[in-house]
Structure 1
Amino acid sequence: MAMWEVELLSQTVVTTPRNPVPWQLDRARELAHLFGVPFMQRGDSSLYQLLERFTCVVAVADPARIHMRGSDHPLFFHPSMAAQRLDRIHRRGEPDRLLRVADVRSGDVIVDGTLGLASDAVVFADAVGMTGQVIGIERSALVARLMRAVQRFGCKEYSDAADLLRRIEVLECDHLAWLQEQPDDSVDVLYFDPMFRQPAEDSPSIAPLRQAASPQPLRAGVIAEARRVARRAVVVKERPQSGVFEQFGLTPDRPRSPFAYGVWRKYI
């Protein structure tokens, strides 16, 4: 675990609403164990007051919310654009751009090397079906444990997405270290969505994720290992003008769009 992650977790606590009912007290203790941080009775303290003492406060809710000092919006699980994408796939019969570019098939083994809030991974999980496998790698302990909390406790508001999340194997580790341990040609598709280093205006849902996520950019060694491990393709989401596609020898699907999927295929 990187030093920034250790420091972040050391300044994190779990708490309840001010007047918790029994299940909320039980949930807070379970969350504290899952996150590996202390549980603190809320008492009369406001979240603002707690954030004066701690960098992060994990609050019991459905789903759990992580409040971070300096952020106006909490971090929590939500399907984001995945809900609309799944609706277009199932109700309208429309093809999904990422699934088409990555050539995802039923029964595939897919690795999302930058899991985040699992917006892409839940679409992968739906596409590969019960015979496939999706592995989500997240370096940020805070984000990975938040996803595990949803897997364990569910989420009534986004129940369909939470059910798909339960199919994903969430790994809390560095994706390069994981790749180096894998055999050749052992995964169908490897996907990376590194957060844009110079983002356009962040949405309220993405801004807190940026604060909690690993600041490390995508490394050349990661792509080299991904090419070795992939059976079919490596896909990276980036801005076409960023230079990343040229750096890693990836072909963008839409070179003039605000973002593109850069693809390398093992066999053409």
Structure 2
Amino acid sequence: MTIVTVSQKATVEECREAEAVAKCLALPYEERRERSLPTMQKIYGADDILVITKKGPQLYTGEGKEHTFHLSMAQLRLLRLQRGGVDHLAEAVGDEPLESFLDCTVGLGADSLIVSYVHPECPRYIGLEGVPALAYITNYGCRHFTHKEHAVTAALRRLQIVAMRYEQFLAQQWENSIDVIYFDPMFEVPVKESPQFTGLRGHLVESGFTADTLRRALAVARRKVIVKERPFAQLFQTMRPTRLLGGKYSRVAYGVYEKGATMWND
């Protein structure tokens, strides 16, 4: 369970804002009353706490573990692109102009930011996040974070974050309605060194990626579906992609499933 509260010494306006956020996300709001976050976590049996502060929202998941919006590894990827380097997700999406892009597991927003930066012509970027509190934080960052480079800020502003599970969203879409659909599910074998997920492990939606999910996504997609996983993942053995992209020594790979070209081993 997630609860919503405010920082210590919050103003009346901040308390009202927190109550409004809680109502919007259908989460309980609890007054802070000078209590520590670990104490509130114990009293209310909360898995995590969304804290509304004057500097922006924070997601508290345990003692010493707080998540706020940041560019994470996307900043290094942006620098690589600006220097003429290759980004494997951008390569998987391709150079053809986009009209729509759906990130089914937007999380911290890093992957969608890269695609939006490379394809500024695309008018429709949707990022789905199944954890409402995380969706709120990522959406807040996309609306308020200002980068020193206008193109990066503009890329963030193009992202529309929706607090919804991808299974529900895909079931509601017309076939052939979205150009490219992207998934970054929880890896079969986690990359333990990933610093951007410190404090969030165990607090994310960890539903398994299935053949039925891929089939539905391919029905909704106009061009392709892209799935990020470890190069040796069983997923890529049972649901063989059209292409598998990634660096020679990369710990992750991008499986590209072109429309009408999927090869199944299930």
TM-score of the alignment, normalized to the shorter chain, above 0.5: yes
What code does the residue aligned with 1:228 have? Answer: A
Q: Name the residue aligned to 2:27.
A: 37
State the distance in 2 between where 1:211 and 1:77 align. Answer: 18
CA distance in 2, matches of 1:40, 1:98: 41
Query: What corresponds to 1:193 in structure 2?
Result: 184
Number of residues paired by the alignment? 255
Q: 1:176 aligns with which of 167, 172, 191?
A: 167
Question: Is 1:60 matched up with 2:65?
Answer: no
Quickly say closer, same or farther: Cα 1:201–1:126, change in 2 above 3 A.
Answer: same
Distance 1:32 1:202, change over 3 A: farther
- CA shift digits 1:100-132 (9 cap, x unpaired): 122154443111111111110111222221543
In 1, the alpha carbon distance for the partners of 2:122 and 2:225 equals: 21
**Distance in structure 1 (CA, Å) of the matches to 2:112 and 2:161:** 10
**Of 201, 222, 227, which residue of structure 2 is paired with 1:231?**
222
Return the letter of the residue paired with 1:172: A
Is contact 2:120-2:155 (8 Å) kept? no
Say whether the 8 Å CA contact 2:245–2:255 is kept in structure 1: yes
**Residues of 2 paired with 1:156 and 1:101: CA distance?**
27
| Residue type of the alignment partner of 1:261 | Y
Alpha-carbon shift at residue 85 of structure 1 (Å) = 1.6
3-state SS in 2 of match to 1:262 = strand
Distance 1:130 1:209, change over 3 A: farther
Distance 1:162 1:50, change over 3 A: farther
- 1:143-182 equivalent positions in 2, closer than 5 A: 143-151=134-142, 154-155=144-145, 164-182=155-173
Aligned counterpart, 1:3: none
1:49 is the counterpart of 2:42: no
Q: Which runs of 5+ in 2 are unaligned?
A: 262-266
TM-score if structure 2 supplies the norm length?
Answer: 0.82
Judged with a 3 Å threshold, the aligned counterparts in structure 2 of structure 1 residues 176 and 20 are, in CA distance, closer, same or farther, namely closer
CA drift at 1:35: 3.1
> What per-residue deviation string (whole Å, max 9, x for no partner) do you get for residues 22-65 of structure 1?
55444433433333334333233122222222322222333311
Separation (CA, whole Å) in 1 of partners of 2:158 and 2:196:
23
The answer on 1:263 being equivalent to 2:253 is: no
- One-letter code of the match for 1:36? A
- Aligned equivalents of 1:166, 1:242: Cα separation in 2: 34
Does structure 2 retain, via aligned residues, the 8 Å contact 1:78–1:158?
A: no
What is aligned with 2:75? Answer: 83
User: C-alpha root-mean-square deviation of aligned residues, in Å?
Assistant: 2.8
- Which amino acid in structure 2 is aligned with residue 226 of structure 1? A
| Length-normalised TM-score, structure 1 | 0.82
Query: Is contact 1:15–1:39 with CA below 8 Å preserved after alignment?
Result: no
SS at match of 2:218: helix
- One-letter amino acid of the counterpart of residue 87, structure 2: D
Give % identity.
Answer: 26
- 1:112 pairs with 2:109: no
* Counterpart Cα distance in 1 of 2:147 and 2:18: 19
Question: Which position in structure 2 is the counterpart of 1:74?
Answer: 66
Structure 1: distance between partners of 2:12 and 2:147: 21
| Separation in 2, partners of 1:117, 1:133 | 18
Paired with 1:78 and 1:208, the residues of 2 have a C-alpha distance of 14
Letter in 2 for 1:81: M
Unaligned runs of 5+ in 1: 1-7
Partner of 1:5: none
Change (3 A) 1:48 1:236: same
Once residues 245 and 31 of structure 2 are traced to their aligned partners in structure 1, the CA distance between those partners, rounded to angstroms, is: 51
Match of 1:14 among 1, 5, 14: 5
What SS does the aligned partner of 2:23 have? helix
Contact 1:195/1:210 (<8 A) preserved:
no
